[in-house]
Amino acid sequence: MIGARRVVTGLVVSAVVVGILGVDLWTGTAWATSALIALMLAQALRECYAMLAAAGQPAHGRLAVVATLVLLALRAAAEPLGLSTAEARAMLFAGLGAVSVAPLVLGIARGPTDDGPGPGDLARAIATAFPILWVALLGSFLLELRLIPGDAAHGVPRGLGLCLLVVAAVKIGDSAAYFVGKTLGRRRMCWVSPKKTWEGAFASLVASVAVAVLVGHWLGLDQRLMAGLGLVSSLAGQGGDLVESYVKRAVGVKDSTTTFGELGGVLDMLDALLLAAPAAYLWCELLVVRGGLPG
């Protein structure tokens, strides 16, 4: 019954995402998917700060969430603003870096106090910076992936196709790991997530590569590159899943929120993509965009 609710929730979320992808295809822009990515990353960041706060570690979360949303919007609006891709990307990365150290700057600007600065002030600054680097910075590569220029087959923008491919490969791989691990899993994979098994991890790898090859074939992209992209995305995605499991275990929660029932919150849904997106973007930038493999 729980598995059925998981599938239904996943299908509803997938239908919404597909609808937003359709808006981009219909309008010929990247605004809908860019807005979706920015809002999801901002919500995931908010959930991360909420988990830290519940564990007794305060942070400057509101400032970080608002700043991240603004910076992602500016990155998506590079063309209307007359900025080159390199300029917009530099603005995003520099802005996230500035927000990460903002608590230290504010502490200096406030001047000396009777009892500070102390370890608590430094802990608050670190607690502000970590979610920005983990969620906002790494997650921003999903937006970079979406904004890759060019076209694929069937009139699909290349960035949109690659973004869809990576998300589908990672999430379908995650579902394969869940069901295979639950039914056939015997060998425990890692202590931070006792339910994960090596059998599930292998199933995830196979499913991710298969999805990447199939979607890549439909998009008219090199099959060897797409198999590699599926492999890289799966391995990095499984690592991202374990990272979030470690964080949740450290703060003593099962899910970031219960927004999507058994699937948890937005951070729980994005956890694998936080590491998969940078790896996939690097693969695409070095190989797909620059012309592929020789021969």
In a domain, 295, yes or no: no
List all residues 6 or more positions away from 7 whose beta carbon is below 8 Å from its beta carbon. none
Per-residue confidence (pLDDT) for residue 3, from 0 to 100: 54
Per-residue confidence (pLDDT) for residue 8, from 0 to 100: 62
Among candidate residues 163, 275, 178, the one with its CA nearest the CA of residue 219: 163
In a domain, 293, yes or no: no
Total domains, the chain = 1
Beta strand ranges found along 116-263 (DSSP E): 188-190, 193-197
- What is the gyration radius of the CA atoms in the chain, in angstroms? 20
Task: Report the alpha-carbon distance of residue 242 to residue 185 in Å, rounded.
Answer: 17
In a domain, 108, yes or no: yes
Domain holding 131, by residue range, is 2-288
| Residues of the chain scoring pLDDT < 70 | 1-15, 114-116, 291-295
List all residues 6 or more positions away from 274 whose beta carbon is below 8 Å from its beta carbon. 134, 135, 138, 139, 240, 243, 244
Phi-psi region at 106: left, alpha or beta (left = phi > 0; alpha = psi -120 to 50): alpha
List all residues 6 or more positions away from 79 whose beta carbon is below 8 Å from its beta carbon. none
Per-residue confidence (pLDDT) for residue 34, from 0 to 100: 93
CB neighbour burial string for 109-135, b if at least 16 within 10 angstroms, e if fewer: eeeeeeeeeeeebeebbebbbbbbebb
Per-residue confidence (pLDDT) for residue 65, from 0 to 100: 96
Task: Report the alpha-carbon distance of residue 99 to residue 105 in Å, rounded.
Answer: 10
In a domain, 202, yes or no: yes
Residue linked to tokens 């239908």: 15
Task: Report the alpha-carbon distance of residue 53 to residue 202 in Å, rounded.
Answer: 36
In a domain, 178, yes or no: yes
Tell me the β-bridge partners of 197: 188
Per-residue confidence (pLDDT) for residue 13, from 0 to 100: 63
Q: What pTM value is reported for the model?
A: 0.91
Per-residue confidence (pLDDT) for residue 182, from 0 to 100: 86
In a domain, 294, yes or no: no
